Amino acid sequence: MSDNVELDLKNVEKKTSPITWVIMIVLPFVLFFVSLFLGRYMINPSDVAKILIDQIPGVNITPTWETTAETVVLRVRFPRAVMAALVGAGLSMSGAAFQGMFQNPLVSPYVLGVSAGASCGAAFGLLMSWPTWMVQIVAFAFGILAVAITYSMAHLYKTTPILMLVLSGMVVSAFFQAMVSLIKFAADDEDKLPAITFWLMGSIGKVGLDDLAPSAIPMILAMVVLYAIRWRLNVLSMGEREAETLGVNTERVKLVVIITTTLISSLTVSLCGIIGWVGQVIPHFCRMIVGPNHKALIPATIFVGASYIIVIDNLCRLVSITEIPIGILTSVVGAPVFAYLLRKTKGGWA
């Protein structure tokens, strides 16, 4: 039997060649490094490498670079590139998890109202002219609040049916979007209205070195949890009733997925504004490469998503003299790419 099994087990899963994986994994690191020296203030790549190595405790390199270069690399570009990678990986992963859980390829991480809620919180904070850190905290809290409302609205008897979640998410999103409009309407159009509008369009440039740790750590933790339960997503994607007969406590798994994705997307929106389409496009694209099995899909979305947002954010910085809001670019790129993927996959899954 064993010979036979080994022969056939090679066909068990859609195999992605090791080279594809190596490219997928290495690419975000290369792009990360590139984004540290690219910019209007060009820095020699070897200097960037030396600056980075110099940071390792115990290593001391005699500086061959200007102090400005060090500041630009470490305080501006490094946190920005880290954030871009995290945002890309986080949103893509959340999108893949939600699409599996909702059994629907059109679902985005924002489906439960997190972006509308966070936008509302941010708009309110900006209207009150609060300092940035407070705006971020309020936005984050409102994102969580919106999803909490969605979840409790969808809660029927001891369950939260998927359809109820989607519908409640629509209701909650609509309400918070109306609130955003109301705040915009009330805002002074010289100063605050543009601030709100630009904030909502999104930018990763606001993230400084000091913001990095408090936002990156919870995001990474949520991603680790999502990564750990990735095989269960396969079972959940067969439908809740089947998952239950297979011994999955669907309510618990759903709650874990909702909490982790909400943490990721609420942090993203509160720090960087609304970055759309990433959570739809990247999982779709990754399914084309590695197949639908979440065991491979989730890792793929991490690397491809990170690469994608690093590239997009670099475009935002470099294409014109004034920075382009990232939300515009992800939609301009995302919508046509998604249209292409839909055509190519004929509306299917891979």
Partner 1 sequence: MSDEIMVKVENATFSYGKKPVWENISLEVKRGECLSLLGPNGCGKTTLLNCISGSNPLTSGSIQLLGKEVSAYDVGEKAKRLGYVFQEHSAPFPYTSIEVVRMGRTPHLGLFGSPDEKDTELAYKIMEDLGIAHLAGESYTQISGGERQLVLIARTLCQQPDILLLDEPTSHLDFKNQALVLRNVKKLSDAGMTIIMTSHFPNHVWHVGDRVIMMGYNGIIADGKVDDVMTEENLSKTYGVPVRIFEGKSGDKENKFCDPDLD
Cβ proximity to partner 1: between 126 and 165 the closer is 165
Cβ proximity to partner 1: between 233 and 326 the closer is 233
Cβ proximity to partner 1: between 72 and 165 the closer is 165
Please say whether the beta carbons of 25 and 303 come within 8 A: yes
Cβ proximity to partner 1: between 214 and 239 the closer is 239
HEC profile of the chain: CHHHHHHHHCCCCCCCCHHHHHHHHHHHHHHHHHHHHCCCCCCCHHHHHHHHHHHCCCCCCCCCCCHHHHHHHHHHHHHHHHHHHHHHHHHHHHHHHHHHHHCCCCCCCCCCCHHHHHHHHHHHHHHCCCCHHHHHHHHHHHHHHHHHHHHHHHCECCECCHHHHHHHHHHHHHHHHHHHHHHHHHCCCCCHHHHHHHHHHCCCCCCCHHHHHHHHHHHHHHHHHHHHCHHHHHHHCCCHHHHHHCCCCHHHHHHHHHHHHHHHHHHHHHHHCCCCCHHHHHHHHHHHHHCCCHHHHHHHHHHHHHHHHHHHHHHHHHCCCCCCCHHHHHHHHHHHHHHHHHHHHCCCCC
Residue 244 CB, nearest distance to partner 1 (Å)? 6
Cβ proximity to partner 1: between 189 and 242 the closer is 242
Residue 297 CB, nearest distance to partner 1 (Å)? 10
Cβ proximity to partner 1: between 40 and 241 the closer is 241
Residue 248 CB, nearest distance to partner 1 (Å)? 6
Residue 295 CB, nearest distance to partner 1 (Å)? 6
Please say whether the beta carbons of 87 and 307 come within 8 A: no
Encoding tokens for residue 4? 């036979």
Residues of this chain that bind partner 1 (CB under 8 A): 1, 5, 8-9, 11-14, 100, 103-105, 228-232, 234-235, 237-239, 241-242, 244-249, 291-293, 295, 348-350
> Distance between CA 307 and CA 86 in Å, rounded?
10
Cβ proximity to partner 1: between 59 and 106 the closer is 106
> Distance between CA 117 and CA 147 in Å, rounded?
8
Residue 157 CB, nearest distance to partner 1 (Å)? 10
Residue 239 CB, nearest distance to partner 1 (Å)? 6
Cβ proximity to partner 1: between 45 and 348 the closer is 348
- Non-local (6+) Cβ contacts of 45 within 8 A are 33, 37
Residue 277 CB, nearest distance to partner 1 (Å)? 21
Residue 306 CB, nearest distance to partner 1 (Å)? 23
Residue 265 CB, nearest distance to partner 1 (Å)? 22
Paired with 159 in beta bridges are: 156
Cβ proximity to partner 1: between 12 and 42 the closer is 12
